[in-house]
Structure 1
Amino acid sequence: MPHIHILTVSDRAHAGHLPDTTGPRAVELAAEHFPEWSADSAIVPDGIESVSSGVLAARGRGADVVLTLGGTGCSPRDLTPEAMDSLIGTELPGIAEMLRREGEAQTATAALGRGRAGIVGRPKSGAHEEEAPPPEPPTVVVNLAGSLRATEQGLALLAPLLPHLIEQLSGGGDHARH
Structure 2
Amino acid sequence: MRWKVGLVCASDSGSRGEREDTSAQVIRELVEEELFGELVDYQVVPDETQDIMAAMIEMMDYYQADLIFTTGGIGMMPRDVTPEATLKVIERQTPGFPEAMRYAMMRKSGAGMLNRATAGIRGKTLIINLPGTPEGVHECLSAILDQLPRALRALTGRGGDHLL
Aligned length: 160
For 1:29 and 1:8, the matched residues in 2 are separated by 16
Q: Is the 8 A contact 1:33 1:156 kept in 2?
A: no
Aligned match of 2:59: 58
Distance 2:48 2:120 in 1: 19
Alignment check: 8 A CA contact 1:90 1:118 kept: yes
Partner Cα separation in structure 2 for residue 88 and residue 154 of structure 1: 20
Aligned partner of residue 146 in structure 2, secondary structure: coil
Corresponding residue SS for 2:103: helix
Quick one: distance in 2 between partners of 1:83 and 1:114?
A: 12
Q: TM-score, normalised by structure 1?
A: 0.84
CA RMSD of aligned residues (A): 1.5
Per-residue deviation, residues 38-96 of structure 1 (Å, max 9, x unmatched): 11422111111111111111112111000001100010100001102221111111111
Higher fraction of helix: 2
1:176 deviates by 5.5
What are structure 2's unaligned runs of at least 5 residues?
Answer: none
Q: What's the secondary structure of 2:91's corresponding residue?
A: strand
Task: Calculate the TM-score normalised by the size of structure 2.
Answer: 0.91
- Can you give the 5+ residue segments of structure 1 that lack an aligned partner in the other structure? 122-137
Looking at structure 1, the residues matched to 83 and 50 of structure 2 have their Cα atoms a distance apart, in angstroms, of: 12
Q: Which residue of 1 aligns with 2:162?
A: 175
- Are 1:144 and 2:130 matched, yes or no? yes
Report runs of 4+ in structure 1 exceeding 4 Å deviation. Answer: none
Task: Give the 3 Å change call, closer, same or farther, for CA 176–14 of structure 1 in structure 2.
Answer: closer
Give the Å deviation of 1:174: 6.1
Counterpart of 1:175 in structure 2: which amino acid?
A: H
Identity %: 30
Alignment correspondent of 2:147: 161
Q: CA deviation at 1:158?
A: 2.4
Change (3 A) 1:48 1:11: same
CA distance in 2, matches of 1:12, 1:148: 16
Contact kept? 1:6, 1:27, Cα under 8 Å: no
Correspondence for 1:77: 79
| Greater C-alpha radius of gyration | 1
Q: Distance in 1 between matches of 2:120 and 2:102?
A: 15
**Structure 1 contact 47–79 (Cα < 8 Å) conserved:** yes
Amino acid of the residue matched to residue 118 of structure 1? G
What is the aligned partner in structure 2 of residue 116 from structure 1?
118
Q: Which residue of 2 aligns with 1:127?
A: none
